[in-house]
Amino acid sequence: MTGKPRRVVVTSPRTAAARRPRHPLTREIDEQTRLGEVYMRSLVRTQFRLALFVCTLLACLVGGLPLLFLLVPDLRSAHLLGLPLPWVVLAGLIYPAFIAGAWLYVWQAERNERDFADLVERQ
Amino acid sequence: MSIAAIVVVVLAAILIGAFGIRMSRTTSDFYVASRTVSPLWNASAIGGEYLSAASFLGIAGLLITYGADMLWLPVGWTGGYLVLLVLVSAPLRRSGAYTLPDFAEARLESMAVRRASSVLVVLIGWFYLMPQFQSAGLVFRTITGAPEWAGGLVVAAVVAANVLSGGMRSITFVQAFQYWLKLTALAVPLVFMLLAWRSDGFPGLPPGDPWALPLHGREHPLYETYSLILATFLGTMGLPHVLVRFYTNPDGRAARRTTLVVLTLLGAFYLMPAIYGYLGRVYGLPATDTVVLSLPGRLVGGMGGELLTALITAGAFAAFLSTSSGLTVSVAGVIAQDILRGGVRSFRVATILAVVVPFALAGTARSLPVATVVGLAFAVAASSFCPLLVLGIWWRRLTTVGAMSGLLLGGGLACAAVLATITGGPKTGWMGALLSQPAAWTVPVSFTVMVVVSLLTQSRVPPGVARTMVRLHTPERLNLDRGDWRPRSL
C-alpha cells in the first residue's frame, strides 16, 4: 500500500471499556480463564501468607521456649511474682497469647475475604 | 457417693440415647437443623467431645511423674486448634467434606487415597479409644473395687448402645453440656482445695526439689519435648471426631469463629489440670491417672471431700462417654462406608467392631498412662492427615501418588512406633524415645515424601484441582461454580 493512511477523528477514547473485563469476574473464575486464575492465585497466596505468618510466630514462641530453657538454665528456676517462671508461662500466659493470635488471624482473614469478594463483585 | 455419681451419668447417657430413637431424625434433617447452631454451642460441643480422660485425669498424673515438661501436653492440645484455625478450618468446612476420607476423595479425586485415609481413621480412632476404656476401668476399680475390665465394659456397652440407637451424637446440645459439666467438675473441687491449701498455710515443694523445672526427669528431655509439641500441635487437625463437628457450621467464616471459641474454652479448662498436678505433688500423692480423684479426699476430707470426689467422678465418666461416643460414631461411619458395603446393617456391624477391637486391646496392651497413649494417637494423626490437609488445601501440585505415599509411609511408621510402644512397653535409651515420641521424625518424613513424590509425578495432578481451589478458598457470598462433588456419607 502506498500513501498516507486516512486520518480518522477519535471521538470516544473508550478508556472504561479497555479497563473493564468483558465478562463479570465470577465468570472468568468459573471458566478458569487466565485472568480468573490470577485472581484465584492471589486470594490463595494472600491467605497462605497470613497463615504462614501466624504459624511462624507460633513456631518461634513454642519452639523457642524449650531452647531458651536449655540455653539459659537460670530461667528454669526464675520466679515471677513468687511463682516459677516456666509455670507462669506454660500453665497461664500462653493461653491468652493463643487466643489473641487467633483473634487477630480471624479478623485479618475475614478482611482478606471481604476485599476479594468486593474486588470480584465490583465492576 | 461416687458410685451414685457414676450411675447418674450412665443412666443419663442411656436415657438420652433412648430418646434419640424416638426423635430419630434423619442425617440430612440433622444437618439442616444444625446450621442454626451458634458458634458458642458448636464450640462447646467440640470441647465436650474433645476433652477426654487424658485431659481430665491424665495430665495431672503425668505432671506428678515427670514435672514441668508435661505442661506442654495441655498447651499442645489447645494450640493445636490455633494451627487448625489458621491452616485448615475455613477451607475444610468449604470443602463440604464430612469425614477425612471425604476430604481425601474430594481433593484428590481418588478412591485409593480415600481408602488409605479410611484405614488410618480407624487406626487413630482405636488408639484413642483404647486408653479411654483402660482409664474407665481404672477409675471404676478405684471407686467400686470391681476388676479392671468392668469399667471399660460399662463404657463400651453404653457407647455401643447409644451409637446403635443413633441418639447421643445427633444432639449438639448434649455434647455442649458435657463441656460445661467437665469444666464444673474440675473447677468446683479446685476452689475448695485451694481454700484448704490456704488454711494449711500454702505448703510448697521441699527446697531443692527439681520437679518444677523444665527439661528434667526424662532421658532425652529436649527431643521428647519437641516431639510432643509437633505431635499435639499438628495432630489435632487429623482427629476424626473433631472434623465432623466442623460440618455443623453454616459456612467457612462460622467455622473460623467456632475455632476461636473452642480455643478460648479449652484455654479456660486447661488452666486447671496443672494446679491439680502441683497440689498432688505438694501433698505427696502417688503419680497415677486417679490422682485427680484422690485429691479432694486428701485435702478437704470428710463429707465435703466425698461430695467433691463424686463430682469429679461424674466429670470423668462424662469424659469417657462423650469422647468415646464421638470417636465410635466416626470410626463406625468410616468402617461401614468404606470398608463394609454401607447401609444400616453395615453400620451396626461397624459399631460393634469399632468398640470391640479397642476394648480387647485395652485388656491385652500394657497399661500406660492414658495421656501417653492419647499422645501417640496424636502422633499418628500428625504424621498422616496433617500433611494431607495442609498440602491438599494450600498446594496445587499435590498428586494422588504423592498423597498416597506420604499417608502410607508417615502414617505407617507412626503406627508401627505406637504398636511397639503399647505392646512392648516403654523401652529405654534413644530407641525408646524415638518409639514413644515418634512425631519428630515421622512428621518430616511424611511431609517430605508427599512433596518429593508429588514433584516426581506431576502428570498425576487431579484434573479438577482449579475448581477444588475455588471451592476451598472463596467466600460463600460469591456466586461461583464450585463443582458438584457431594460427600457420600450423606
In a domain, B268, yes or no: yes
The confidence band for B449, taking pLDDT boundaries of 50, 70 and 90, is very high
Q: Which residues of A touch B473 (CB under 8 A)?
A: 40, 43-44, 47
Alpha carbon of residue A15 to chain centroid = 32
Inter-chain residue contact B394 with A51, CB threshold 8 Å: yes
Q: Which residues of A touch B87 (CB under 8 A)?
A: 51, 55
A96-101 long-range Cβ contacts below 8 angstroms, 24+ apart: A96/B267, A97/A61, A98/B78, A98/B79, A98/B82, A98/B263, A98/B267, A99/B260, A99/B263, A99/B264, A99/B267, A101/A54, A101/A57, A101/A58, A101/B82
- Contact residues for B417 (Cβ-Cβ < 8 A; gap 6+): B376, B379, B434, B435, B436, B438, B442
Q: Which of A70, A105, A114 sits opposite B222 (nearest CB)?
A: A70
In chain A, which residue's Cα lies nearest the Cα of B74? Answer: A91
The owner of cell 482449579 is: B466
Q: Which residues of B touch A70 (CB under 8 A)?
A: 215, 222
For B348-359, b/e burial (b = at least 16 CB within 10 A) is: bebbebbbebbb
Question: What is the model's pLDDT at position B269?
Answer: 97
Q: What is the pTM of this model?
A: 0.92
Alpha-carbon radius of gyration of chain B: 22
The confidence band for A71, taking pLDDT boundaries of 50, 70 and 90, is very high
Question: What is the model's pLDDT at position B28?
Answer: 47
pLDDT tens string B317-373? 999 998 998 899 889 888 988 888 777 788 889 999 999 999 999 988 877 888 888
What cell does A35 get? 485472568
Contact B412/B474 with Cβ under 8 angstroms?
A: no
Inter-chain residue contact B225 with A66, CB threshold 8 Å: yes
| Other Cβ atoms within 10 Å of B216 Cβ, number | 15
Contact B241/B23 with Cβ under 8 angstroms?
A: no
Q: What's the gap in Å between the CA of B344 and the closest CA on chain A?
A: 38
pLDDT top residue among B413 and B301: B413
Mutual orientation of helices B412-424 and B111-144 as an angle, nearest 10°?
A: 20
Domain ranges of chain A: 24-121
- Contact residues for B427 (Cβ-Cβ < 8 A; gap 6+): B420, B421, B435, B436
Q: Which residues of B touch A103 (CB under 8 A)?
A: 260
Using CA atoms, how far apart are residues B257 and B461, in angstroms rounded to an integer?
Answer: 32
Q: What's the gap in Å between the CA of A12 and the closest CA on chain B?
A: 34
In terms of Cβ atoms closer than 10 Å to its own Cβ (0-12, 13-18, 19+), residue A60 is: exposed
pLDDT top residue among B427 and B59: B59
Q: Which of A86, A96, A102 sits opposite B260 (nearest CB)?
A: A102
State how far the alpha carbon of B338 is from the alpha carbons of B118, B247, B333, in Å: 7, 19, 8
- Number of residues written out for chain B: 490
Question: What is the model's pLDDT at position B402?
Answer: 97
Question: What is the model's pLDDT at position B468?
Answer: 95
Q: What's the gap in Å between the CA of B329 and the closest CA on chain A?
A: 29
Using CA atoms, how far apart are residues B11 and B18, in angstroms rounded to an integer?
Answer: 10
Q: Which residues of A touch B74 (CB under 8 A)?
A: 91
Question: What is the model's pLDDT at position A15?
Answer: 58
Q: Which of A77, A105, A120 sits opposite B86 (nearest CB)?
A: A105
In chain A, which residue's Cα lies nearest the Cα of B267? Answer: A95
In a domain, B416, yes or no: no
Q: Which of A29, A77, A86 sits opposite B480 (nearest CB)?
A: A29
Using CA atoms, how far apart are residues B367 and B438, in angstroms rounded to an integer?
Answer: 19
Inter-chain residue contact B222 with A114, CB threshold 8 Å: no
In sequence order, what DSSP letters do the residues of B332-369 get, joined into one string? HHHIIIIIS--SHHHHHHHHHHHHHHHHHHHHHS----
B203: left (phi > 0), else alpha (psi -120 to 50), else beta?
beta
Instruction: Look at residue B486 and give its three-state secondary structure.
Output: coil
Q: Which of A29, A87, A105 sits opposite B470 (nearest CB)?
A: A29
What cell does B412 get? 505407617
- H-run or E-run covering B191: helix B172-199
Contact B101/B107 with Cβ under 8 angstroms?
A: no
Inter-chain residue contact A26 with B480, CB threshold 8 Å: yes
Inter-chain residue contact B475 with A114, CB threshold 8 Å: yes
In chain A, which residue's Cα lies nearest the Cα of B80? Answer: A98
The confidence band for B161, taking pLDDT boundaries of 50, 70 and 90, is confident
Q: Which of B75, B278, B475 sits opposite A117 (nearest CB)?
A: B475
Contact B85/B252 with Cβ under 8 angstroms?
A: no
pLDDT top residue among B389 and B428: B389
Provide the number of structural domains found in chain B.
Answer: 1
Mutual orientation of helices B370-394 and B221-235 as an angle, nearest 10°?
A: 60
- Contact residues for A59 (Cβ-Cβ < 8 A; gap 6+): none
In a domain, B138, yes or no: yes
For A8-19, b/e burial (b = at least 16 CB within 10 A) is: eeeeeeeeeeee
At A98, phi and psi to the nearest 5? -60, -45
| Other Cβ atoms within 10 Å of A24 Cβ, number | 15
- Contact residues for A58 (Cβ-Cβ < 8 A; gap 6+): A101, B79, B82, B83, B233
pLDDT tens string B215-238? 887 888 999 999 999 999 999 999
Q: State the residue range of the domain holding B227.
A: 2-367
Q: Which of A77, A94, A101 sits opposite B75 (nearest CB)?
A: A94
Please provide the average confidence, as pLDDT, over all residues in chain B.
Answer: 89
**pLDDT over 90 percentage in chain B:** 63
Question: What is the model's pLDDT at position B36?
Answer: 63
Query: Which residues make beta-bridge pairs with A83?
Result: A80
Q: Which residues of A touch B68 (CB under 8 A)?
A: 84, 86-87, 90
Q: Which one, of B43, B163, B126, B91, lies nearest residue B381 by Cα?
A: B126
Mutate to test the interface with A, among B395, B473, B477, B482 (most CBs of A within 10 A): B473
Q: Which one, of A49, A117, A73, A8, lies nearest residue B221 by Cα?
A: A73
Mean of pLDDT values over B83-90? 96
Q: Which amino acid type is present at position B356?
A: V
Q: What's the gap in Å between the CA of B21 and the closest CA on chain A?
A: 39
pLDDT tens string A6-27? 887 767 656 555 555 567 888 8
Inter-chain residue contact A95 with B78, CB threshold 8 Å: yes
Using CA atoms, how far apart are residues B354 and B122, in angstroms rounded to an integer?
Answer: 8
Q: What's the gap in Å between the CA of A58 and the closest CA on chain B?
A: 9
Mutate to test the interface with A, among B78, B85, B253 (most CBs of A within 10 A): B85
Provide the CATH number for the domain around residue B204: 1.10.4160.10
Q: What's the gap in Å between the CA of A18 and the closest CA on chain B?
A: 24
Cβ contacts from A onto B, under 8 A: 131
